[in-house]
């Protein structure tokens, strides 16, 4: 399909990063058409940027088969779901003085660039539901991953009374409906991770391992990769940099070099959207060919890098993949 958005892109996006966007989208479609699977990684504040407006549909249409994200992206999609009407946009954020920022703090409005997340309606509302799940699991000796606790809350419907956007625009809700594998490395570096630590310190949660760990995420990812790659090539679509991308891409060299597994294929497609230009020692700014030396990609792996704003580029690529 070639909808109006796709037709516009094909007509106007002809050179430089614009052409790379088209090439990456076409290769994404070709990868899926050949029976491939795709992992998407989310860094930055893509959930607060409301990427769910397009990513949720990608998930529903089986264009995404696993997600790796920061704890912030996992929780901020839910914050937006349950407190969207209380958010405040600050389009003049570049002009804010330190005193303006202090005033936002005193109102419990946590700023992410041009968007302020309300602490009480978003964070504390989710915390209440999570704490009940954490404490119940702690009492019964059960252990779950961070995303599994979120899935349990969404499936129970206990937050449905607070929904302020259409759940179809929540990528986590779409992932829950398909029971999509989600990997959240470094979850403790998030608001809900901090909440969990606080409740462990107070003694409300006795076993700190009630929430399963990042090492267990890697073990689970290795199992998923082995099973999935035995049947299909797996692509890697990286939005931003950081741990959300670095963690999952390393599963391949881990399987090869640390476990000595043979016959496990490397990633079959690679694209990164990044505003981190090539530099000295920056993982986020590394060109894709550097990953060949680490055993993550092959010489003939289709590779793309788009140096631009992911909040602009990702929805456009998704639109082309969806035929919008």
The pLDDT of residue 286 is 82
CA angle 197-200-204, nearest 5°?
Answer: 135
The pLDDT of residue 71 is 98
Q: Give the 3-state secondary structure of 104-157.
A: HHHCCEEEECCEEEEHHHHHHHHHHHHHHHHHHHHHHCCCECHHHHHHHHHHHC
The pLDDT of residue 202 is 98
The pLDDT of residue 178 is 98
The pLDDT of residue 115 is 98
Whether the CB-CB separation of 41 and 248 falls below 8 Å is answered with: yes
Q: Where in the sequence is the domain holding 81, given as residue range(s)?
A: 4-322
Closest CA to 171 of 49, 275, 87: 49
The pLDDT of residue 284 is 75
The pLDDT of residue 278 is 72
Closest CA to 174 of 81, 86, 240: 81
Residues 306 and 315: their CA atoms lie apart, in Å, by 13
The pLDDT of residue 204 is 98
The number of distinct structural domains making up the chain is 1
How far the first Cα of the chain sits from its last, in Å, is 7
Q: What is the CATH number of the domain that holds 135?
A: 3.40.910.10
The pLDDT of residue 99 is 98
Given the DSSP bridges, would you call strands 115-118 and 109-112 parallel, antiparallel or unpaired? Answer: antiparallel
Given the DSSP bridges, would you call strands 303-307 and 182-183 parallel, antiparallel or unpaired? Answer: unpaired
The pLDDT of residue 139 is 98
Counting as low any pLDDT under 70, the low residues of the chain are 1, 279
């Amino acid at each position: 399909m070639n909808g109006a958005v796709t037709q516009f892109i094909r007509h106007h996006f002809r050179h430089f990063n614009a052409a790379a966007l088209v090439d990456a989208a076409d290769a994404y479609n070709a990868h899926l058409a050949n029976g491939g699977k795709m992992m998407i990684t989310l860094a930055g504040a893509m959930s607060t940027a409301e990427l769910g407006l397009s990513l949720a549909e990608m998930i529903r249409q089986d264009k995404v088969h696993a997600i790796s994200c920061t704890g912030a992206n996992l929780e901020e999609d839910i914050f937006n779901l349950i407190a969207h009407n209380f958010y405040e946009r600050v389009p003049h954020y570049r002009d804010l003085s330190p005193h303006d920022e202090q005033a936002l703090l005193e109102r419990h409005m946590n700023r992410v660039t041009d968007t302020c997340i309300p602490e009480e309606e978003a964070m504390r509302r989710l915390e209440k539901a999570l704490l009940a799940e954490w404490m119940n699991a702690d009492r019964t000796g059960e252990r779950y991953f961070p995303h599994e606790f979120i899935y349990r809350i969404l499936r129970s419907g206990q937050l449905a009374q607070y929904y302020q956007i259409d759940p179809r625009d929540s990528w986590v809700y779409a992932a829950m409906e398909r029971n999509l594998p989600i990997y959240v490395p470094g979850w403790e570096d998030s608001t809900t991770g901090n909440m969990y630590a606080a409740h462990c310190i107070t003694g409300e949660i006795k076993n700190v391992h009630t929430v399963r760990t990042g090492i267990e995420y890697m073990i689970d990812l290795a199992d998923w990769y082995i099973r999935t790659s035995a049947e299909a090539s797996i692509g890697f679509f990286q939005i931003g940099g950081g741990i959300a991308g670095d963690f999952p891409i390393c599963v391949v060299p881990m399987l090869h070099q640390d476990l000595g597994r043979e016959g496990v294929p490397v990633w079959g497609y690679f694209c990164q959207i990044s505003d981190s230009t090539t530099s000295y020692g920056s993982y986020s700014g590394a060109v894709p060919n550097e990953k060949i030396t680490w055993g993550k990609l092959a010489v003939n792996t289709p590779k793309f890098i788009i140096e631009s704003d992911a909040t602009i580029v990702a929805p456009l690529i998704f639109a082309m993949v969806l035929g919008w």
